[in-house]
Amino acid sequence: MAFTLKDNPSIAPTLRSGERVEDAVLAALKEGVAGILFNCSQPEIMRKAIEIAHEVSTDYGENVSLGAYANGFQAIDDGHEANGILSNERDIPIEEYGRFVAEWLDAGADIVGGCCAIFPEHIAFIDAMRR
């Protein structure tokens, strides 16, 4: 199961719909999911969400896969409508994205990738980095 997060690294990670990550992870675990991922959000907020998911799943007694696949563009505003137009102002460099992925792996992720504005070159770099 994958969740998208509010793009605000200065607060505790929450889902775009406002729920706490802890509550969402626990609800997913109760449904018997095999993995919990965070997607379509800024790379800066993924590590903390993974750490929370790891803690909750450990406390719950489940060993599930954890992961993240972030966006490579600017933050998405809270008022953004689904399928609305986004600009690609950030265009995250491959090496910078790789540093974020390394943080996620250190936090317990075992599934990593990319979402919007992450390109095959980013994924190739991640693949080479993990070898």
Q: What is the pLDDT of residues 9-50, one digit of tens each?
A: 889 999 999 999 999 999 999 999 999 999 999 999 999 999
Q: Could you give the CA distance from residue 65 to residue 110 in angstroms, rounded to a whole number?
A: 6
Position 21, amino acid: V
Residue numbers of the domain that contains 100: 2-130
Tell whether the model's pLDDT for residue 119 goes beyond 90. Answer: yes
Please give the angle made by the CA atoms of 36, 37 and 41, to the nearest 5 degrees: 150
Q: Could you give the CA distance from residue 15 to residue 5 in angstroms, rounded to a whole number?
A: 4
Which helix (H) or strand (E) is 111 found in, with range? Answer: strand 111-114
Structure tokens at 110: 């075992």
């998208």: which residue's tokens? Answer: 4
Q: What is the pTM of this model?
A: 0.89
The pLDDT tens digits of the residues spanning 54-113 come to 999 999 999 999 999 999 976 665 555 555 555 555 589 999 999 999 999 999 999 999
> How many domains is the chain partitioned into structurally?
1
CATH code, 124 = 3.20.20.330
Residue 31: DSSP 8-state: T
Q: Could you give the CA distance from residue 1 to residue 33 in angstroms, rounded to a whole number?
A: 7
